[in-house]
Structure 1
Amino acid sequence: MKNTSPIGIFDSGYGGLTVFKSIAEQLPQYNYIYLGDNARSPYGDHSFDTIYQYTLECVEWLFAKGCKLVILACNTASAKALRTIQQKDLPAKYPDRRVLGVIRPTAEVIGRYTRSNQVGVMGTRGTVNSQSYLLEINKFYPGIQVHQQSCPMWVPLIENNEHLQAGADFFVQEYCNALLQQSSDIDCVLLACTHYPLLLPKLKTVLPESITILSQGEIVAKSLMDYLDRHPEMEMQLGKGGEKFFYTSGDPTAFDAHASIFFGAELESCKM
């Protein structure tokens, strides 16, 4: 087995770059390919079947680029496509490949961040409607009560670079109020969309200081480190050199201009 395989990072658009940033910081030695399906973003309001088809197409594209391991750095894709890909497509067509998501790693540790056992989850309509976080958190922490709030305006605001403007205040306040109205005992809020960390400055002014706001990047990075420790047969195949390649299904010029906001550094992408 040649150790030339990059790790694939997939998202419906830009948001997965926040997860990629954390992964690259904690695991800088590996090679990576990031793919954003910007031409068909956002995924949040699509059906299960559509999101599954879009996600599978992108995963197979990353496989064709040599990736043996792909991370779905997208909550909607993880909620609506991951299980089918893992249970149907990988055994039938790609038995030597692996696809991991962002929901399970978060569910495994969320109990460490709550004292009241009252947790809020803020995500896209697709993620919330899938009930994936309710199901996964209940597996690990059956005593935790999960309160969900969809935030359909947040991704458009962020992708139009309006998230820190005054015009975003109304929608940040509206969704936070709607969540807290479900329970006054919520002491941990999970940002269940990889776009949402860009709203942290506003969220910290709206949510009470007693509430822990949880982003996924560092959690997913640590989970990946643990996975590679437990699966040396996969780790041996990964290319090491710290190379990063970026692709988009949309316009590379537009992607590059916007992606640096999420990744925290200038980058240059290619057309998928």
Structure 2
Amino acid sequence: MGPIGIFDSGYGGLTVFREIVKKLPQYDYIYLGDNARVPYGTRSFETVYAYTKECVEQLFGMGCRLVILACNTASAKALRSIQQQDLPRYPDLRKVLGVIRPTTEIIGNHTQTRQVGILATPGTVKSGSYQIEIQKFFPDITVFQHACSMWVPLVENNELDSPGAAYFVEKDVKQLLQQSPAIDAVILACTHYPLLLPLIKQCMPPHIKVLSQGTLVADSLADYLNRHPEVAALCTMEGTIRFFTTDNALDFEEKAGIFYGRPIRAEALSL
């Protein structure tokens, strides 16, 4: 038995993690941010897979039997390979889950026009993962995507209220909506983007639903553990949380509070 592992390439996964902790506070958690090698979004499939696999194995080595990839790029570019190629090599039960499926499997409940928009990083858009997954669950839905290359840097530099952030958010939202006037639901397919939600809603027509991943992933995880008691039985329940980063711990702590919503203490580790 061990804690639930939460992995992200850096800080963004903390917006998902905080919702998981709210929903399931009884479990133990280890959060690992690979800040030394961020960003993942612009890297190749092979590189993202190699980095993600290394971090997942690190979490396995720290006692985690269940790992959540709280990163859209890792979920898009590495999850399937890890599930199909790597997990079968372990003699005991281990699970790795992502953030894309919990979002895509419920999107049909939020659209009347069956036209959905995706705002994401260039890497996630290029992977086509959201289009592929939505088509599996809802073949009648048409998906429109737009890559927001400036949003992550704006968030990580705490420019949430700056004129630059307002300019790029408005520009990217308009470019997505220009693809179809019938879009009535938009998925924020990056864990950084909820921090820009006030600006996004200012630019988005009021009839369009904007879906963030945090609560959706938390609800999905709670349901998964309920349906899979054999996995839940592997997760310890003392309510402890530890944060790790592959970069400087003090630097991580300084920015992490923006995403997690409160101050944290972090430890550095080398892979």
Q: TM-score, normalised by structure 2?
A: 0.98
For structure 1, the 5+ residue unaligned runs are: none
Displacement of 1:203 in angstroms is: 0.5
1:154–1:163 CA contact under 8 A, matched in 2 = no
Question: Offset at 1:170?
Answer: 1.4
**1:100 aligned partner, one-letter code:** L
SS in 2 for 1:164: coil
Once the two structures are superposed, the pairs formed by residues 25-174 of structure 1 within 5 Å of their partners are 25-93=22-90, 95-174=92-171
Q: 1:213 maps to what in 2?
A: 210
Q: Distance in 1 between matches of 2:239 and 2:38?
A: 28
Distance of 1:163 and 1:148 partners within structure 2: 23
Identity of aligned residues (%): 58
Residues 198 and 262 in structure 1, CA contact (< 8 A), matched pair in contact too: yes
Aligned-residue Cα RMSD (Å) equals 0.8
Aligned to 1:193: 190
Give secondary structure in 2 for the equivalent of 1:267: coil
Q: Name the stretch that deviates more: 230-239 or 79-88.
A: 230-239
Q: Measure how far apart 1:173 and its partner are.
A: 1.1
CA shift digits 1:200-232 (9 cap, x unpaired): 010011111111100001111111111111111
Amino acid at match of 1:200: L
Q: From the superposition, tell whether residues 95 and 237 of structure 1 become closer, same or farther in structure 2 (CA, over 3 Å).
A: closer
Q: Deviations over 1:73-129 (max 9, x none)?
A: 000000000000000000023651100001111111011111111100010111000
Task: Specify the alignment match of 1:20 in structure 2.
Answer: 17
Shift of the 185–94 alpha-carbon distance from structure 1 to 2, 3 Å rule, reads farther
Which residue, 220, 229, 232 being the options, matches 2:229? Answer: 232
Aligned-pair distance for 1:168? 1.0
2-side partners of 1:163 and 1:77: how far apart? 24
Q: Which amino acid aligns with 1:85?
A: I
Instruction: Give the ranges of 4+ consecutive aligned residues of structure 1 lying more than 6 Å apart after TM superposition.
Output: none
Is this contact kept in 2: 1:69–1:99, CA < 8 A?
yes
- For residues 94 and 55 of structure 1, the distance between their equivalents in structure 2, rounded to whole angstroms, comes to 21
Indicate how the Cα distance of structure 1 residues 100 and 115 shifts in structure 2: closer, same or farther if over 3 A, else same.
Answer: same
Give the SS at the match of 1:189: strand
1:5 alignment partner in structure 2: 2
| Contact 1:37-1:248 within 8 A present in 2 as well | yes
Q: Distance in 2 between matches of 1:134 and 1:262?
A: 27
Q: Which of 194, 216, 219 lines up with 1:222 in the alignment?
A: 219
Secondary structure at 1:183 match in 2: coil
For residues 75 and 94 of structure 1, the distance between their equivalents in structure 2, rounded to whole angstroms, comes to 28
Query: 1:72 is matched by which residue type in structure 2?
Result: L
Write out per-residue CA displacement over residues 7-46 of structure 1, whole angstroms, 9 at most, x where no aligned residue: 0000001000000000000000000000011111111000
Find the aligned partners of 1:185 and 1:137 in 2 and give their Cα distance: 17
Q: 1:163: Cα distance to partner?
A: 2.3
SS in structure 2 at match of 1:175: helix
Unmatched tracts of structure 2, length 5 or more: none
